[in-house]
Amino acid sequence: MKAIVVDQLTKTFEDVTAVDHISFEVPQGELFGLLGPNGAGKTTTINMLSTLLKPTSGRAEVGGYDIVKNRDDVRKSIGVVFQEPALDGKLTGRENLEFHAMMYGLRKDERNRRIDDVLALVELVDKARVLVDKYSGGMKRRLEIGRGLIQHPKVLFLDEPTLGLDAQTRRHIWDYVRKLNRDKKVTIILTTHYMEEADFLCDRIAIMDHGKFVALDTPPRLKDVLGGDVVSLEVEGNAAPLDDAFKALNWLKKYTRREDVLNLTMEKGERRIPEIITLAQQLGVTVGCVHLRKPSLEDVFLHFTGRTIREQEANASERNRTMMMGHGRR
Amino acid sequence: MIMISGTAIYVLWLREMKRYVRAKSRIIGSILQPMFFLVFLGLGFNRMAVPGMKPGVDYIQFLVPGILGMTLLFSSSMQGLSVLWDREFGFLKEIMIAPVSRTSIVLGRIAGGTTTTMMQGLLVLGLTFVIGFRVNGFLNFLLALVFMILIAFTFIGLGLIFASRMKDMQGFGMIINFIIFPLFFLSGALYPLDNLPSFIRILSYADPLTYGIDGLRGTMIGLNSRPIGIDLAILCGFALVMLFLGTYFFEKSESV
């Protein structure tokens, strides 16, 4: 059974196409990541799948229900943690959870039991009676993750769950997300523009850019596209004799040399380094410095889009600004 | 088929009550403002002959139902517009994502908004009792309550219409200055409408608050310029239309 089926889903705002004919499926129990810069269309995708926005065209099913025709059934099957906090600061943590549980029609006993459960899970039991206005950013985010679980959703959407949080809190949230996915078997859809977050958490990742998927696979296989690790050598003296010797190695995937800096691409780079150095010494070349680089999703992103995610970010905020001006005129 | 969820209405109402009770400074501020109006305008104009005023009527007596109407107008339109705050602070998404009908959500907001508006109005009315204002008998008081509720409904509906059409807080000041204040000044809250030039008086007939305040004045101090039944019927009509439109626009609005 598929938790999510998306077919040619599209959303257009006036003349901007935020999501452009995307299609994918997520099996139950998967931790699926949408990775891309701001403005790539991740949040719009989540908003459509969680019934907050109507798609311009295309269709999608969440938990077996159509997101347009069976909105209420979809709403009952999902939990959502939004990018921006969606808490009432004038209520206590527990009251926010109570509000939520009652909106989902849970009866009093069940309600109290589940609220106690999630408060324990996100470690906010002793802060439950404090006004949310007094919470830190990390506490708010944890409360929201807990809230998204009260109705026992089949699918949990997390939109940039660690945006703006410090490194320690981020780690903490990652642990919760993993625990939820593994122990409670919740299907999780997570958006992020942090490479290491997607890499660490997700079973599969879709790389999104300008409203389209440019790649979709497991993190190791996405990295494989790049051909493996890069070993860089800095040598002393004449490096020319090395060219032919290295090119003859059958396990070497790519070789480039600029003056005395050599770049070698291969799999399991750390196991090949001794061999490389020995070979160099046999040919009378002294290696001054060795550097091993494992491909990151950052490289993968660069490979598929031709830009680093940071360059993308700058362009996207530029685009956002133009869009907002468009809104203001209306 | 529209499903109405009693629990959802109740919990939205409950949230409004909690927020109201906790916002002490807001309560105090919203009582002080009408009291200042009453005291300063009342004292300032009490000895003056207000043109168009029936002889033998004390200006403060005349002013109390007007200020009460003002309190209800401001409080209820703010309640309708509170959707904007929820949108600004993100909580609207939490409400809209819940598996309850949009109609239940609107009804919950109206229930909460009406309750806080009535509490506000009754607090102000209670204070006027302290400074010597008296309503003509208990039945009239009950009828005045009906007028108060209808005023609340009307302007919560109006607030909902605007809040559903707006994406952010930018137009908020415009609505206050160009809609709410004119509604207040056109309603005859501060002076008899006979004083206004006839073209402005015509505008005041389009102002729901005109009928609300005339009804309040009629029930409270027996000084109405139209039969109370007519005030009641017209205000009922406004309330129904505004609530219907408010619900309609809220249900149509996009949540993000």
- Among B14, B83, B91, the residue to mutate for chain A (most A Cβ within 10 A): B91
Please name the residues in contact with B142: beta carbons below 8 A apart, sequence gap of 6 or more: none
Put simply, whether A107 touches B (Cβ < 8 Å) is no
- Minimal C-alpha gap between B192 and chain A (Å): 40
Mean pLDDT of A141-169: 89
pLDDT of residue A125: 95
Whether the CB-CB separation of B70 and B189 falls below 8 Å is answered with: yes
Q: How far apart are CA A161 and CA A181, in angstroms?
A: 15
Q: Give the A window 25-64 contacts with B, CB below 8 Å.
A: 47, 50-54
First-to-last alpha carbon distance for chain A, in angstroms, is 44
- Confidence class for position A159, pLDDT limits 50, 70, 90: very high
Kindly write down the DSSP assignment for every residue of B102-145, as one continuous string: HHHHHHHHHHHHHHHHHHHHHHHHHHHHHTT---S-HHHHHHHH
CA angle at A211 for the pair A7 and A51, rounded to the nearest 5°: 55
Q: Which residues pair with A7 in a beta bridge?
A: A59
Is residue A228's pLDDT more than 50?
yes
Q: How far apart are CA B233 and CA A284, in angstroms?
A: 105
Gyration radius of chain A's alpha carbons? 24
Quickly list DSSP for A207-240.
Answer: EEETTEEEEEE-HHHHHHTTTSEEEEEEEES--H
Q: How far does the CA of residue A103 sit from the closest CA of chain B (Å)?
A: 5
Q: What CA–CA distance (Å, rounded) separates A212 from B151?
A: 51
Query: What is the per-residue burial (b if ≥16 Cβ within 10 Å, else e) of A171-180?
Result: ebbbebbeeb
d(CA A138, CA B48) in angstroms, rounded, equals: 62
Kindly give the pairing relationship between strand A57-62 and strand A2-13. Answer: antiparallel
Average pLDDT of chain A? Answer: 87
Beta strands in chain A (DSSP E): 2-13, 16-27, 31-35, 57-62, 65-66, 78-81, 155-159, 187-192, 204-209, 212-217, 229-236, 254-258, 261-266, 286-293
With cut-offs at 50, 70 and 90, classify the pLDDT of residue A329: very low
Query: What interhelical angle do A137-149 and A108-121 show, nearest 10?
Result: 140
pLDDT attached to residue A305: 78
What integer pLDDT is reported at residue B39 of this predicted model? Answer: 87
Enumerate residues 6+ apart whose C-beta is below 8 A from A309: A36, A37, A193, A195, A298, A301
The answer to whether B189 touches B67, Cβ cutoff 8 Å, is yes
Residue contact B22–A90, C-beta within 8 A: yes
Residues linked to residue A122 through DSSP beta bridges, in sequence order: none
Whether B95 sits inside 8 A of A103 (CB atoms) is yes
Name chain A contacts of B100, Cβ cutoff 8 Å.
Answer: 103, 105
pLDDT score of A326: 41
- Nearest-by-Cβ selection for B256 from A47, A95, A98: A47
Half-sphere exposure for B4 (CA within 13 Å, toward CB)? 6
CA A102 to mean position of chain CA atoms: 31
DSSP at A21: E
What is the pLDDT at residue A314? Answer: 60
Residue A212 banded pLDDT, cuts 50, 70, 90: very high
CA atoms within 13 A on the CB side of A32: 24
Second-level CATH architecture of A2-223: 3-Layer(aba) Sandwich (3.40)
- Which one of B10, B170, B256 has the shortest CB-CB distance to A52? B256
Cα(B147)–Cα(B151) distance, integer angstroms: 6
Helix (H) or strand (E) segment spanning residue B254 = none
Q: What is the pLDDT of residue A322?
A: 47
ipTM of the complex: 0.89
CA distance A205 to A225: 14
Please give the pLDDT value at position B253: 83
**Helices (H) then strands (E): counts for chain B:** 12, 0
**Measured between CA atoms, how close is A40 to chain B, in angstroms?**
17
Cβ pairs A/B, distance under 8 A: 76
Q: A188 has which bridge partners?
A: A31, A156
Interface check A105 vs B, CB under 8 A: yes
pLDDT tens-digit series, residues A268-326 = 888 889 988 888 888 888 888 999 988 888 888 888 877 666 666 665 555 554 444 44
Q: Are B23 and B82 in contact (CB under 8 A)?
A: no
Averaged pLDDT, groups of 10, chain B, 256 residues long: 83 95 88 89 76 76 93 93 90 93 92 96 92 88 96 96 87 86 92 86 93 95 92 97 94 78
| pLDDT for position A310 | 61
Give yes or no for a contact between A157 and A189, defined as CB atoms under 8 angstroms apart: yes
CB contact under 8 A, B18 and A90: yes
Whether domain A231-293 has CATH 1.10.238:
no
* Domain boundaries along the sequence of chain B: 6-252
Q: Do B94 and A100 touch (CB under 8 A)?
A: yes
Residue ranges per domain, chain A? 2-223, 231-293
What's chain B's Rg over C-alpha atoms?
Answer: 19
Cβ neighbours of A102 in B, within 8 Å: 7-8, 10-11
Contacts of A104 in chain B (CB under 8 A): 98-99
Q: CB distance A52–B93 less than 8 Å?
A: yes
Assign A60 a pLDDT band (cuts: 50, 70, 90). Answer: very high
- Token pair for residue A169? 């809190």
